[in-house]
Amino acid sequence: MQVALVGVTGYSGMVLYQLLKQHPQVDGIHLYGHADAPAVPLKTVATMYQKETAVIRPFDAAAIMHDNAMVFFATSAGITCQLALPFIAAHFPVIDLSGDFRLRDPQQYQHWYQRTPAPVTALAQASYGLADMPSPLTTYIANPGCYATATLLGLAPLVQQQLIEPTSIVVDAKSGLSGAGKRATTASHYVTVNDNVSLYKLNQHQHIPEMMQQLQQWWPTIPAIEFTTTLIPVTRGIMATIYAKAKQPLTTAQVRDAFMTTYHEQPFVQVLPTGMPTIKDVIGSNNCALGVNYNPVTNTVVVVSVIDNLMKGAAGQAIQNFNRYFDFAVTTGLPTLPVFP
């Protein structure tokens, strides 16, 4: 199978390219960049690919659809919605790692992303690909955001089984620097990030509306969540610590049983029998590791959800959705063991 990748030079695009190169069902990868840019060898823009002969070609929707069975977009928000409409019109298979088609409401997109949304008719044709909570996929798959993936997987059993008070959800999420992308800013300078911890986008993170959209689909009673994001001095990884009040007294074992019921058939979701996971438990893998606890004194359920933001939070989940779409074994081409040490 030949596949196309638009946007290989970003962190998520590079990781996705590596995964596609190792996928047994992928025979070749055609790379595409800007429509008005000349073709350039991949090795000239990414030094780790000196032995690669791949060329980044100018973007051409008609050529992509003619030469490939699917296209992956690893482009920035605001770019994909400008490029994707011909594929949607032709019902050509797309997996989109940007946020442009995750939200059904264009006004929500405009508010949270501060960009012009895609047409409503195009948004209606996209499916939200939270791969470990399988639901029917359309030809246009909106890959979830990294924070949303960690948070939703940590909340799904509690919400779907209505074990918590719907107004009590608090999420303290922390991410490594690669989640901010390659473009350097003052906030991403080494001297700013090293030996430091800082909150950012307080109550303004663009993944909040997609989390609310999915949570309210599971349980419409949930009005909102308190969600904070913190930058920590690591390269990769997300830890979402989730707090919620139980609707009635529970035990830690009961909470764990609820998670096992939800995820017992999902090979990439690991519910720990005891203790809490660390970021290093998942780095380099497509896994989400979950730890749970119930405090009877405060009547609080605590869930810790950890993922690799470039794998489960982006490229790995894209491959998982690729496998689902073409009915390959869900683990095909994906690492199940973390990098250690």
Give the three-class secondary structure for 94. strand
Cβ count within 10 A of residue 21: 14
pLDDT at 341: 83
In this predicted structure, what is the pLDDT of residue 182?
66
Please state which CATH number belongs to domain 2-144+312-325.
3.40.50.720
Tokens in use for 299? 């009547």
In this chain, the answer to whether the domains covering 2-144+312-325 and 146-308 adopt an identical fold is no
Q: What pLDDT, on a 0 to 100 scale, did the predictor assign at position 301? A: 98
| SS3 track for 240-291 | EEEEEEECCCCCHHHHHHHHHHHHCCCCCEEECCCCCCCHHHCCCCCCEEEE
pLDDT at 76: 92
Torsion from C-alpha of 27, 317, 114, 34, nearest 10 degrees:
-10
Superfamily of domain 146-308: Dihydrodipicolinate Reductase; domain 2 (3.30.360.10)
In the chain, domain spans: 2-144+312-325, 146-308
Determine which one of 146, 155, 164, 258 is catalytic: 146
- Residues in the chain where the model's pLDDT stays below 50: none
Annotation marks residue 288 as catalytic:
no
Supply the pLDDT for residue 207. 97
